[in-house]
Amino acid sequence: MARVSGLEKKEAPWHLRWFYGMMRLRNQFSEEQLMQLAAQIAFENYRARWNRLFNVESDHLYYGPTAS
């Protein structure tokens, strides 16, 4: 991956980080897989907004790792 000289990764503007992130995704996934991923992300965003609108609470089905 090409880099902008003299610029650390965290110092790069968001649009450059996004661009290089998309380039990495294109190297790993087919066009169809990227379309499915984008559709799933859009659906999840829609569902989350719908849940906030109607104050839908979590069912607590997932219990992630706890901090020790």
So what's the pLDDT on residue 32? 96
> Roughly how many angstroms between the first and final C-alpha of the chain, as a whole number?
38
pTM of the model: 0.57
Ordered by start, the domain boundaries in the chain are 30-55
DSSP percent split of the chain into helix, strand, coil, nearest 5? 60, 0, 40
Q: How would residue 21 be classed by pLDDT, with cut points 50, 70 and 90?
A: confident
Of residues 7 and 66, more confidently modeled = 66
b/e map of 3-21 (b: 16 or more CB within 10 Å)? eeeeeeeeeeeeeeeeebe
For residue 9, pLDDT over 90 is answered with no
